Amino acid sequence: MSLLVVGSVALDSVQTPFGSNADALGGSAVFFGSAACLLHPVQMVGVVGNDYPFDQLERLAARGIDLTGVTRMDGESFRWKGKYSYDLQNRETLDTRLGVFAAFEPRIPEAFRDARYVFLGNIDPALQLSVLDQIRKPALVACDTMNYWIHGKRDELLELLRHIDVLMVNDGEARELSGDWNIYRAARWILEHGPRMAVIKQGVYGAVLVDRDRVFYIPAFPLEEVFDPTGAGDAFAGGFMGHIARTGDVSTENLRRAMVYGSAMGSFAVERFSIDRFHEIGPAEVTARVRAFADLVRFDVEPEMELAE
């Protein structure tokens, strides 16, 4: 039931109204792995420069992340620097230095090629396709993307959609991709282009899981303190895929539960800078938060069905 993630391994410098940090662990594969490894072992594929604080990555290895697929190259690591608005709802990129990430060509180690569950973090869709070519028989492939690829590599992205099971994007990306503001019509557009499921993340408003027949809505966890939204979407993906890999069940009912684990992990991610919160928590905290989600949306309609015509 192995779980593979391919994505960026970066160093983030983030300014929020509550503080700032510099060169902290970030990137889609790191946030995904930090969350997913609380649920299931993770195989990670990425690239870092020889300036990367590999000792900090080793802390993740101790939590069940196999770093065999993280290549060290001569050069600088991928760095992103951003600043959030007062309400954390918008962010401005101050600097992006791709470094060795610009030359990233994912090579999946032989030991990872039997991965059953695969998450393709936000990288060039041509590279995402090349990863799938290297995986023998995945049971479920989920994929993220971004506006840069939606506009710049649309043909490759449309080809990729024909080969994945779940497209997991935020609402803005779903709108750009489909050309439709309504996220439910956008989800239908996605389903018509290949995936059997669309997960559309809406930040503080939660996320929806849409398949051909049904819609499932999971709110974001009600937090009075949000510290740094960076990586929340990838942590969501980590919770989602980690749950699926742990249970080995790709039924719709189980994907609904996976959404809850996703939203739980997204909520942990935003409580601290970088992946710091994931170092503080274990199964007890995860279980408590998932139970809290059950209370958050629970209601009983059965006694109320006596409306007379």
Q: Which residues bind a copy of itself (CB under 8 A)?
A: 39, 86-87, 181-182, 184-185, 188, 202, 205-206, 208, 210, 214-219, 222-226, 243, 247, 253, 256-257, 259-261, 282-284, 286-287, 290-291, 293-301, 304-305, 307-309
* Alpha-carbon dihedral 285, 217, 115, 158, rounded to 10 degrees: -140
Please identify, using beta-carbon distances, which residue of 159 and 285 lies nearer to a copy of itself.
Answer: 285
Sequence-separated contacts (24+) of 190-194 with Cβ below 8 Å: 190/161, 193/158, 193/161, 193/162, 194/161, 194/162, 194/163, 194/164
90 forms beta bridges with none
Rounded to a whole number of angstroms, the minimum distance from the CB of residue 34 to a copy of itself is 16
Please identify, using beta-carbon distances, which residue of 53 and 206 lies nearer to a copy of itself.
Answer: 206
Rounded to a whole number of angstroms, the minimum distance from the CB of residue 78 to a copy of itself is 31
CB-count exposure of residue 224 (10 Å: 0-12, 13-18, 19+): exposed
Rounded to a whole number of angstroms, the minimum distance from the CB of residue 112 to a copy of itself is 24
Rounded to a whole number of angstroms, the minimum distance from the CB of residue 136 to a copy of itself is 28
Please identify, using beta-carbon distances, which residue of 62 and 284 lies nearer to a copy of itself.
Answer: 284
CB-count exposure of residue 84 (10 Å: 0-12, 13-18, 19+): buried
Rounded to a whole number of angstroms, the minimum distance from the CB of residue 210 to a copy of itself is 8
At 114, list the tokens. Answer: 């039997």
At 269, list the tokens. Answer: 């991610």
Please identify, using beta-carbon distances, which residue of 39 and 120 lies nearer to a copy of itself.
Answer: 39
Rounded to a whole number of angstroms, the minimum distance from the CB of residue 13 to a copy of itself is 24
Say which residues have a Cβ less than 8 Å from residue 125's Cβ, sequence separation at least 6.
145, 149, 153, 156, 157, 159, 160
Q: What are phi and psi of 293, to 5 degrees?
A: -60, -40
At 185, list the tokens. Answer: 């019509």
Please identify, using beta-carbon distances, which residue of 155 and 300 lies nearer to a copy of itself.
Answer: 300
Rounded to a whole number of angstroms, the minimum distance from the CB of residue 28 to a copy of itself is 24
Please identify, using beta-carbon distances, which residue of 153 and 246 lies nearer to a copy of itself.
Answer: 246
Please identify, using beta-carbon distances, which residue of 52 and 221 lies nearer to a copy of itself.
Answer: 221
Say which residues have a Cβ less than 8 Å from residue 65's Cβ, sequence separation at least 6.
33, 37, 41, 42, 43, 44
Say which DSSP state 3 is in. E
